Amino acid sequence: MPFRSGFVCILGRPNAGKSTLLNALVGEKLAIISPKPQTTRNRIQGVVHVPNRKGKNTGGQIVLIDTPGVHKPDSTLGRKMMVEVREALEGCDLVLVIMDVTQKLDPRDLYALDLLKHSKTKAFLILNKVDLIREKAKLLPLIEQYRKLYKFSEVIPISALKRTGLEALLDLIIAALPAGPAYFPEDQVTDQPARFMAAEIVREQVLLNTQEELPYATTVIVDGYEEGARLTRIAATIYCEREGQKGILVGKGGLMLKKIGTAARYQIERMLGTKVFLELFVKVEARWRDSRRFVDELDWRRQLELRMQDQGRKTV
Ligand code: GDP
Ligand code: MG
């Protein structure tokens, strides 16, 4: 059997478990996770290398694309997040529509299905969080509702968190992909720069340690990044929108910032395999969510392109 490969987009409303599924299938933490909606702000590629296994049809490479949750945007940031979703859908070979089986179908699901209808791509319906449902028969009406809305070629129950149903899912994905080459070398699992992942890890700690509006009001930008063989020095700024929020992020005697920094440093050390010196700052930037400059900063793909064009110009 030929080697198969392709791009597979994970689509769904906020909190369905898209990023948890990406991490589980790749086997490494590439996307940050939190119980808060809109944790993921841009599209994230993760590469699954599937070996040729005995008794299975074929080996292959799956390039998964995790996307921000589908929602109605109310800021420049939100609109940029939805552009990321549409770009991920463009030209992919298969879409995994992921739903949380503990939730009823709502307008965000319909909006996600609308996007899919426009792309007309082959799609699987993934029923996630089945670990939370005791009576599986309860799923049937929900499946019926979805099936009326799109012609899914497979319906697959999983638990991304408990990692059940994933082997079957991988087999079905591989079988649905065309014969093709590996797009990434064996040892590469993502296209995200380490510098961006470091910013995301800090942001995850902010999300996990703060409540109410603060998770949505913050963004993290890495200002300095020097990677050495033994030690990586990182300076990053957490931006929020108001003085009161800054007070919470810094905490009494700087305790909150210290907690965020310690937890993030530990994770970045695991990711890089070096010691990390992490310096964190907190700044107020009212309405950053509507600032082009800040929203562009999230788009590291474009930033890299611009930098390369810039370098090209300098060397010519
Ligand atoms: P996303 O917004 O779709 O990327 O969702 P996340 O992957 O960030 O997950 C949102 C929340 O759902 C987190 O608290 C996850 O731990 C939780 N979650 C994800 N998958 C499962 C699952 O299979 N079972 C359970 N019980 N929780 C899950
Ligand atoms: Mg996510």
Confidence of residue 314 (pLDDT cuts 50, 70, 90): low
The whole-angstrom separation of Cα 132 and Cα 80 is 33
The whole-angstrom separation of Cα 81 and Cα 87 is 10
Q: Is a pLDDT exceeding 70 seen at residue 54?
A: no
pLDDT for 296 equals 85
**In sequence order, what are the residues at sequence separation of 6 or more whose Cβ sits closer than 8 angstroms to the Cβ of residue 241?**
217, 284, 285, 286, 287, 288, 289
Confidence of residue 305 (pLDDT cuts 50, 70, 90): confident
Confidence of residue 56 (pLDDT cuts 50, 70, 90): low
Mean pLDDT of the chain: 92
The whole-angstrom separation of Cα 265 and Cα 248 is 20
Please list every protein residue whose CB sits less than 6 Å from any atom of ligand 1. Answer: 12, 14-20, 33-35, 39-40, 69, 128-129, 131-132, 159-161
Q: Is a pLDDT exceeding 70 seen at residue 316?
A: no
pLDDT for 52 equals 80
Q: Is a pLDDT exceeding 80 seen at residue 55?
A: no
Confidence of residue 119 (pLDDT cuts 50, 70, 90): confident
CB neighbours (10 Å) of residue 134? Answer: 7
The whole-angstrom separation of Cα 105 and Cα 112 is 11
C-alpha of residue 35 to centroid of ligand 1, in Å: 7
C-alpha of residue 106 to centroid of ligand 1, in Å: 18
Strand partners, 159: 164
**Span 147-161, pLDDT tens digits:** 999 999 999 999 999
Look at residues 92, 99, 12 and name the one whose alpha carbon lies nearest to residue 45: 92
The whole-angstrom separation of Cα 89 and Cα 225 is 32
**Lowest model confidence (mean pLDDT) among 27-36, 140-149, 300-309:** 300-309
Ligand having the closest approach to the CA of 200? 2
Greater model confidence, 120 or 164: 164
**In sequence order, what are the residues at sequence separation of 6 or more whose Cβ sits closer than 8 angstroms to the Cβ of residue 104?**
none
All structural domains of the chain: 4-176 (3.40.50.300), 194-315 (3.30.300.20)
C-alpha of residue 167 to centroid of ligand 1, in Å: 19
**Span 98-108, pLDDT tens digits:** 999 999 999 98
Q: Is a pLDDT exceeding 80 seen at residue 312?
A: no
CB neighbours (10 Å) of residue 310? Answer: 10
Residue 75: burial class (beta carbons within 10 Å; 0-12, 13-18, 19+): middle
The whole-angstrom separation of Cα 39 and Cα 77 is 12
User: What is the greatest pairwise CA distance in the chain?
Assistant: 66
DSSP 36: S
pLDDT for 31 equals 95
**Lowest model confidence (mean pLDDT) among 49-53, 67-71, 249-253, 281-285:** 49-53
The whole-angstrom separation of Cα 96 and Cα 9 is 6
Ligand having the closest approach to the CA of 17? 1
What ligand 1 atom has the least distance to the C-alpha of 13?
A: 3
Greater model confidence, 260 or 310: 260
Q: Is a pLDDT exceeding 60 seen at residue 47?
A: yes
Nearest residue by C-alpha to atom 28 in ligand 1: 161
**Span 267-277, pLDDT tens digits:** 999 999 999 99
